[in-house]
């Protein structure tokens, strides 16, 4: 049987070993732990990340951007003409 790796467990290892200088790293990682904590990392999909980014936009933590050239988007994100 394949082992599972919960997002929160891996994030805690990252936090314990983080030696960087970014003072907001812990709070930013905490957001993602809240989003995905009990999920197996193998179950995460791009749509899950997008949902997390949408939550940050809704909270005013980041701003949505639009690319001027939609051809630069991955194929799955392009709107049909």
pTM of the entire predicted model = 0.71
Q: In this predicted structure, what is the pLDDT of residue 78?
A: 46
Calculate Rg over the CA atoms of the chain: 16
3: region left, alpha or beta (phi > 0 left; psi from -120 to 50 alpha): beta
pLDDT digits (tens, 9 = 90+) for 33-69: 999 999 999 999 999 999 998 999 898 888 876 656 6
Residue 13 pLDDT more than 80? yes
Q: In this predicted structure, what is the pLDDT of residue 63?
A: 80
CA distance 74 to 40: 25
Task: Calculate mean pLDDT across residues 18-41.
Answer: 93
Q: In this predicted structure, what is the pLDDT of residue 74?
A: 57
């Amino acid at each position: 049987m394949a082992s599972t790796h919960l997002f929160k467990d891996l994030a805690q290892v990252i936090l314990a070993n983080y030696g960087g200088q970014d003072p907001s790293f812990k709070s930013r990682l905490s957001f993602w732990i809240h989003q995905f904590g009990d999920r197996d990392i193998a179950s995460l999909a791009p749509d899950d990340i997008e949902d997390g980014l949408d939550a940050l936009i809704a909270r005013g933590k980041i701003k949505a951007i639009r690319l001027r050239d939609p051809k630069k988007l991955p194929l799955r994100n392009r709107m049909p003409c």
